Each structure stands twice: as structure tokens, then as C-alpha cells.
Amino acid sequence: MTTYRLGSSSMVHTPGIIAWAINGYAFEDDQPQLLKTLCNTWSGIPEEAFKQLLAKEVPYTIEDETVVFSAEVDQ
């Protein structure tokens, strides 16, 4: 498992964005655009890791304004 840390900035409050994306991921038609948005925002994170996060297959925690989660991704 690899641990990922998604930091916030003055323009992006990561915990809010991730909560919004998880809620939206319930709608199948919206899934491709949500994945694209997250992959473009945090370009170093594999799409498969985001799929696991948004599908609630892995838990996440919030440390200050950083979202931390671990995902199993084939390299």
C-alpha cells in the first residue's frame, strides 16, 4: 500500500473537495469527470488510487487541511 497526502492551498480546501467528490461519485455519469478533475489537480496520484478513495474502498483521515489515505495500486 502506498500512502498519499493531498495538501490544501489558498485556492483549494482539500477536505471539502474530497467530500464533494465522494458524494458526486455516487452518480455513475459524473465519475469520469470527477476522476479527471482530481487527477489534474493532484497529478502525481494514480487514477486507480483516486477510484479507491472516491468509491470508499479505502478510508481517509484529515490532518490539519491535508487528506491522507493509502491505496493499493499496481505499478
**Rounded Cα gap, residues 3 and 11, in angstroms:** 24
Q: Give tens-digit pLDDT for 7-57.
A: 998 888 999 999 999 999 999 999 999 999 999 999 999 999 999 999 999
42 contacts 9 by C-beta, under 8 angstroms: no
In the predicted structure, residue 65 carries a pLDDT above the cut 80: yes
In the predicted structure, residue 1 carries a pLDDT above the cut 80: yes
- Residue 67: its pLDDT value, please? 96
- Residue 57: its pLDDT value, please? 96
* Average pLDDT value for residue range 50-75: 94
- Residue 75: its pLDDT value, please? 65
